[in-house]
Structure formats: C-alpha cells, structure tokens
Amino acid sequence: MEQPKPIEEKPEKTEKIEKPKRNKAEVAALKSELSFVAKNISGKPDLRLVPGAGWAASLGSKLAEERKKYPHKKLEDFDPNLFMPEILIYPEDHLTTKDDDFIYGVLRHEIGHFRNSDYLALTEFTEQAVKEGYAAQDLIMLYNSWEDGRSNKIEGAKSERAKYLLGYYLREDIKENLAPDLKNSPAPVQFGMVSWGRGLELFVSDFDFVEAKKLLTNAKAQEAYEKLEPVLDEFLNETEDGRHAFRDIMFRKAWPVYKELIKNYLEEQAKKTAKNLADQKKDWDKLGEEEKQKTIEDANKEKIDEEAKEAWDKLPEELKDKIKQAVRAYLSKKEEEAAKNLMPSSMDIKVDPNGRVMIAPKEVPNDIKEKVRLEIAAERGKRAKEEAERAEAKKKELEQMEADRKKLLEKQAGMKYEDLEKYNQYYSPVKKYVDQLVGKLDEIFPPKIESEWEGGHKRGKRIDVRGIGREIPAKTGKIFEQKNVLEEKNLAFTLLIDVSGSMGGTKIQEALKAAILMAEGLSKKNIPFEILAFGSDFYELKKFDEPYFGKQKFKLMSILNLGGGTDIGFATDQAAKRLQRRFLSEKANGALIVFTDGEPAPNPEHRGPEWELKSLVEKWSKKMPLLGVGIGHGMEATIKHYFDKSGLYVPDVNLLPAKLLDILKKQLRRFEKVGE
C-alpha cells in the first residue's frame, strides 16, 4: 500500500525564546479570542471553553445522564447531538505560560476532533470490546493512537496556517508522549504509541520515525505493527467517511490483531510474574498493592521461557486468577497513562456492570460546571426563542401567501375558494382531457379563419399587384382582387343530465365529470351551450348566452343533490325543442347530448305513448344530432336499447372525448348530406 506522504516540510527546529507570562488582562483577552475562534472554526455557536486538567473536546455530561435514564435504549436511537462535543476543556496554566502558536495548535487539534471524530463509534466499539471480554481502555488506546493522526491530517489540509500550528504543537508534544521508558512498557502500549508516531510523522519533519520504531522491543508488538502498518496507513488516508474508517478499517481489520496482542501479553505477563515471585520467594497474598505492581513491572524485563511456564503451572488456580486480574489492571493503568495526552485526562470513561460506556468530563470544578450549564441553557433558550419567533413569522408569511393565493384563485374562478375546491374535486380528474376534447372539436368545427384577398377578378377594390404583369399582355382584364368572405358556422350544444335516483352513487359522479369535461371544452372553444338537468322536475343550470364562469360552474355541482324520478322522455323533448329554437334563430347546428342510464320512470302526466323515450329519440334524431351517453359500468344495454345507433356507452370518462366526438362527427355529416 502506498505510504502516506508528509503534508508539509516544516522549518528546522529553532531555539525557543522564553516569553514572559501573560498577566490577567492578557489571559482574559486570549480566552475571549480563543472562544471566538473555536466557535467559528467548529461551527458550534454554543461551544463553551471550560478550565480543567488538560485539553479535551468533551461531550459534556448529558449523554451519560441519558444512558443512565434509558439503560435499554440502543445507541443509534439516542439524539445524534448527544455524541457531538459541546465543551472545549483547557488547562488554565497553559494560557499563562504557553506561547500563541502552541495554544492555537492544540486548539486546532481539539477542534479537529470536534469535526472529524465519531464519538458514537468510540462508544459503540468500546462497548463491543467489553462484550468480547476486553477492558474499555484496550480499544480506546487503539482508537486514540490512530484517530489523532487521521483527525490532524484532515484538519491540516484545510489551510497552510492550520498545518503549521498543528506541526508546532505536535513537535513540542513528542517528548511527553514518546517517553524514554516506552521500550519497557507493555507490548500493547508500545504498539499504540508507535502507531501514534506514524501519524505524527505526517506533520513533524524532524521526527525520526525509524528511531521511534526501535522502541518496539517486544517481538509480538513488532510483529503486530508490521502486520497492521498498511492498515494504519489506509486509516490515516480515509478522510471522507469517518464511519467507514472506524468500522471497516479499525474495528474489522486492526482490532482482531490488536486484541490478540493483548491476549498474548496478559498470558505471558502472568507467567513471567509467577517466575518473578518464585525467584524472589515472595507470597503474593502478603504483598501490598504497590509491591504487586512493582513485581508485575519488573517482570516486563523478563523473557518468557520454560522456567516461567513451569512456575505458572505450579501455582494453584485461585492464585492464578488473582495474578491475572492484577496483570489486567496493570495493563489498563499503563494504557491510560500512555494515552493521557491522546485522550486527555479531563475525559472520564467508565463502564457500568451492564457493559455500557459512559463518556463524560471530569476534574472540572462544580461551580464552573454549573456556570457552563447555565450559560448553555440560557444560550439554547435564547436560540429556541429566536427559532420560535422565526417559525411564527414564517408561519404568518405562509398563511398570508396562502390567503393571497386563495383570493387570486377566487378572482380567477369567480367563486368562493371552498366552492372552487368542491368543483375541482370533479374537474381535476378530467382536466388533462380538456385539450384533447378541444382538439377533437377543432377537427369537426375548424377555428375561424380570417377573410382572404383573392386575385383574378374584373372588378374589385384593389389591384392584384402580383398578377398584373401577367394579365395585361393576356388582355383578360382580370387585374383586381376581391375579399373572399368565408361563411362562419354558428354552433350550439345542449348538455342534458339525468339526476334521477337510479343515477345515484358513482353514476351521477361520473356523469358530473363528463358534463364538466364537455362544458370546459365547449367554453374553451367559445361554443354556446346550455346545461339542463332532469329528475322528476326539469332544471335550467346554464343558458346559451351565459358564460361558463363562477356561479354557473358551481351551479352544475347541484346535480349531486337533486334526485327524483326519471322523466327522461319529457326532458328530452323539452331540451330538443329549446335547441331547435336556437338552431332556427341563430342559423346554427350542433347537438343534444343526454347523460343518462336510460331507465325511464316518468311523472304520471307524462306516461302516454307520446312521451315514450324510444319514440322521442327516433323523432328528434331525424331533426338534429341526438346522443345518449352512459358513463360508467353496467349501462350499455339500456343505452343501446333506447338510443340505438346514437347511443354511446363509455365505461371510463377518459375515453369520452374520442368516442363522443367520433359519433358526433358521423351524426353531423348525416345532416350535412340531408342539406345537400
């Protein structure tokens, strides 16, 4: 795998010049400046700087409180903001004694963790390690020794100034993290600290990583590092997806090797401790805690050999368990000491009996914690109030926009918005077919064409300029133009709607959609039409010369509530007579379209043979196009029985434009031939 390249060559280390300590006013000014910079760079306006034992990006105590409150809740079900740091802890003495470049370098380092580190992953994977039988500090040692380098690399790529400051801080930090006695440390600690040095190499040009690797005096630590160095480089180079880095690279690839190193160390160290006890002829149970720790630490220098194994095998099981527990505690202590600057001492990580990890700040005075808590609460309250005010203003703005929109629609439609909504309930499903209907009407009744001038006449109001050169030599005298006045056809339609009880339910709803479709299309085409309805009574809903607008549209909706008998013979006769008068007065042609299910139930006074529907259809079909339309299912037989060839069964309203206009075209042609 390609080795990571240094981000930037740093200038050679120069002799530091001691600067005088800052006074109180200077410290206060620096603190204010740090707060401003931290809030802006981190993008967290409620970030608080809090004095403590060291530098740390702290989650605060809210997560631990919530986890105690809801012990069975899954990690992913908690508010993601709980896993975002909200406090930046700093040691007060640094603001007095450290120079600006160091302070801003470590500030940038911690803010890098704010922006780049996944505290949910830290919690999740630490708990998984505990479930596997390891200590929380084992996973945290690996996590921090690798994540420091990755986070710094991402942060350093943001600007040249950031690169320089991080390098300055890290150079000074080397002596504290890679201590001279590291070569005598436990194998997992050696592995972790040398891994940390790999990330350090990216920033500090005069850091000799080859020399640092020599601190890997433990053979098992050397073997583990050589095996995982390509994986570490892959982790350091993953700058886009932190979740992928932690889950797929660190936990799935590195953790199995690292925990095997821990397991081997604990087993070997227990055996070496047993040999050390035997050599010094000490009784473990009579040793104090410090003596036990010293015995384990001295055993670090020993080599695992047959004598150590024999000494271990001779011990009773109870004593073996005690030594194992002590070695385990010793390793955790050494891991925590080694990582104190990787995961600063102001962060406290505890594991409860159920294996839940609690991450919270520690060593922050109670009065400061309370002050910060109140400040954060006040800031959040202020922002919440501002958010509520903005939301209320936005709500009012949207309400006003909606009111204006409704007023505009009311003006355009000529009816109240509530009435328009009811109308649109039936218009919306057929709206897309209106243009199709208009297109079909254009085929039958072409749009008006402007009168044209026609040449080749002996008399006229103007000379045919284009033809004069041809006509004069021919001596025809046809040099004038006359206006060709096209005959304009007047049109008229009647929509007659059956609103009787037999048309109840979906039948009348489909008929209403069909009537609306026809009315919208005829209106768009500027063809005069009237709308009539019948049940037991005869209703006029729109006259020929009334525009289809406003109340006329909404009046059509009344057919849903009329009902009654089916006096269809009388209604058809009355509608045909009205349309015939229109034809005669306006010299028009058009059609009577009856929307019905074809089931007559006439009033008592209209039950004679002269009112029989089939006879009336035959009578009026000879005088005008008369169409009986059944919309919906189950009406085909009755429509065909009463209306014969002029009956039209349309199971779905979307088929109406094509089917209706096809039969209408045939009917109109029939009357044109009669006229000829």
253 DSSP assignment: I
Higher pLDDT, 395 or 60: 395
Question: pLDDT-derived band of residue 613, with 50, 70 and 90 as boundaries?
Answer: confident
**How confident is the model over 109-157, as pLDDT tens digits?**
988 888 888 888 888 898 899 889 999 889 988 998 899 899 999 999 9
In terms of residues, how long is the chain?
676
pLDDT bucket at 542, cuts 50 / 70 / 90: very high
pLDDT at 366 over 90: no
Report the C-alpha gap between 55 and 120 in whole angstroms.
20
Residue 237 has pLDDT above 70, yes or no: yes
Question: How far are the Cα atoms of 448, 547, 581, 584 from residue 587, in angstroms, in the given order?
Answer: 17, 20, 10, 5
DSSP 623: T
Q: For residue range 247-282, list pLDDT tens digits in order.
A: 999 999 999 999 999 999 999 999 988 888 888 888
Class of domain 490-675: alpha beta
CA 57/CA 382 separation, integer angstroms? 24
Q: What distances in angstroms separate CA 27 from CA 30, 95, 103, 463, 474, one per listed residue?
A: 5, 6, 12, 102, 112
Least confident of 69-73, 315-319, 350-354, 402-406: 350-354
Residue pair 512/560 in contact by the 8 Å Cβ criterion: yes
Q: What number of other Cβ atoms are within 10 A of residue 137's Cβ? A: 22
The pair phi, psi for residue 495, each rounded to 5°, is -105, 115
Assess whether pLDDT exceeds 80 at residue 103. yes
Q: Give me the percent of the chain exceeding a pLDDT of 70.
A: 85
pLDDT of residue 495: 94
Q: What is the pLDDT of residue 453?
A: 62
pLDDT tens digits for range 286-314: 888 888 888 888 887 777 788 888 888 88
Whether the pLDDT of residue 579 is over 90: the answer is: yes
Two structure tokens written together for 19: 């600067």
Residue 2 clears pLDDT 50, i.e. is over it:
no
What mean pLDDT comes out for the span 546-567? 86
Element (H, E) at 375: helix 366-413
- Report d(CA 179, CA 194) in Å as an integer: 11
Reported as a single tens digit per residue, the pLDDT across 9-53 is: 344 444 445 556 888 899 889 988 998 888 888 888 878 888 877
Q: Which has more confidence, 363 or 110?
A: 110
Note whether 108 and 37 are within 8 A (CB). no
Q: What is the pLDDT of residue 182?
A: 76
What pLDDT does 255 receive?
96
Assess whether pLDDT exceeds 50 at residue 445.
yes
d(C-alpha 399, C-alpha 403), whole Å: 6
The CA distance from 653 to 670, in Å, is: 26
pLDDT band for position 346 (cuts 50, 70, 90):
very low
Taking only the tens place, the pLDDT of each residue in 369-385 is 676 667 667 777 888 88
Give the model's confidence band at 655: pLDDT under 50 very low, under 70 low, under 90 confident, else very high: confident
Distance separating alpha carbons of residues 559 and 311, to the nearest angstrom: 104
Q: How far apart are CA 472 and CA 463, in angstroms?
A: 12
8 A C-beta contact, residue 265 and residue 246: no
Using CA atoms, how far apart are residues 649 and 656, in angstroms rounded to an integer? 9
Residues contacting 223, CB < 8 A, separation 6+: none
Q: How many CA atoms are closer than 13 Å to the CA of 433, on its beta-carbon side?
A: 22
Task: Determine the average pLDDT of the residues in 380-406.
Answer: 88
Q: How confident is the model at residue 173 (pLDDT cuts 50, 70, 90)?
A: confident
Distance, CA of 331 to CA of 573 (rounded, Å): 106
Mean pLDDT over residues 444-473, rounded? 63
Q: Is 676's pLDDT higher than 50? A: no
Q: What per-residue confidence (pLDDT) applies to 153?
A: 92
CB 533 within 8 A of CB 570: no
CA 271/CA 623 separation, integer angstroms = 117
The pLDDT value given to residue 433: 87
Phi-psi region of 496 (alpha: psi -120 to 50; beta: other; left: phi over 0): beta
The stretch 219-228 carries a mean pLDDT of 93
What φ, ψ does residue 417 adopt, rounded to 5°? Answer: -60, -40
Query: Which residue shows structure tokens 């005598």?
Result: 184
pLDDT value, residue 227: 95
pLDDT score at 14? 43
Least confident of 50-59, 210-219, 325-334, 482-491: 482-491
For the chain, give the mean pLDDT. 82
pLDDT band at residue 465, thresholds of 50, 70 and 90?
low
Q: Does residue 504 surpass a pLDDT of 90?
A: no
Reported as a single tens digit per residue, the pLDDT across 54-101 is 787 777 677 778 888 888 888 888 888 888 877 888 888 899 989 899
